[in-house]
Amino acid sequence: MNTRFVAAFVLALGSASIGFARADEPTPAPAPSASPASNSALPSLNDPNVQKVLQTLTTLVKTRVDIPINTVHGEVTYFRRFEMQVRITKNGYRNVHLHQGTVINPRGASISNGMTVNVIGDVQPDGSVNANQITVVQ
- Domains within the chain, CATH numbers bracketed: 71-136 (2.40.50.140)
3-state helix vs strand vs coil in the chain, percent to 5? 35, 30, 40
Residues 61-85, mean pLDDT to the nearest whole number? 79
User: Which range (6-20, 35-49, 55-69) has the least confidence?
Assistant: 6-20
Instruction: Tell if the pTM clears 0.85, that is, is over it.
Output: no
State the pLDDT at residue 55. Answer: 81
State the pLDDT at residue 89. Answer: 87
Residues 111-136, mean pLDDT to the nearest whole number? 92
- Which tens digit of pLDDT belongs to each residue from 18-37? 555 455 566 677 666 665 55
Residues 4-31, mean pLDDT to the nearest whole number? 58
Q: Decide if 119 contacts 131 (C-beta within 8 A).
A: yes
23: phi then psi, degrees, rounded to nearest 5: -65, -25
